[in-house]
C-alpha cells in the first residue's frame, strides 16, 4: 500500500498506485503543494519521501540490491 500523509496518523491518499508512475505522483504532490510523508512499497523494495510545500526535502530507499551502474546499463 502506498500512502501520503500530512500528520502521523492522518492519511490523505492511499491505495494501489501501480498504474501511476512515481514521477507523475510527485508532480501531483508538487502541484497540490502538499506536505508530509510519502511511502511507496513494492514486493522487493520500499521508499520514504519527506515533502514540504510540494518540494522533496529528503528521500530514503530501504533496500536497493542493484548498484547504480547496473541500473544505468539496464535502462539503456
Q: What is d(CA 40, CA 57) in angstroms, rounded to the nearest whole number?
A: 16
Q: What is d(CA 36, CA 49) in angstroms, rounded to the nearest whole number?
A: 8
What confidence tens digit (pLDDT) does each residue in 13-40 have?
777 877 888 888 889 889 988 888 888 8
Domain boundaries defined on the chain: 2-74
pTM exceeds cut of 0.85:
no
Strands 36-41 and 10-15: unpaired
The whole-number average pLDDT for the span 51-65 is 85
The whole-number average pLDDT for the span 41-64 is 85
Of residues 72 and 48, the one with the higher pLDDT is 48
- Helix, strand, or coil here: 31? helix
For residue 69, give the H/E element and its range.
Answer: helix 68-74
User: Is residue 76's pLDDT more than 80?
Assistant: no
Amino acid at each position: 500500500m502506498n500512502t501520503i500523509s500530512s500528520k502521523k496518523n492522518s492519511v490523505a491518499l492511499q491505495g494501489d498506485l501501480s498504474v501511476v508512475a512515481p514521477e507523475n505522483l510527485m508532480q501531483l504532490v508538487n502541484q497540490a503543494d502538499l506536505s508530509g510523508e510519502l511511502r511507496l512499497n513494492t514486493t522487493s523494495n520500499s521508499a520514504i519521501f519527506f515533502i514540504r510545500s510540494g518540494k522533496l526535502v529528503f528521500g530514503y530507499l530501504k533496500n536497493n540490491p542493484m548498484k547504480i551502474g547496473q541500473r544505468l546499463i539496464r535502462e539503456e
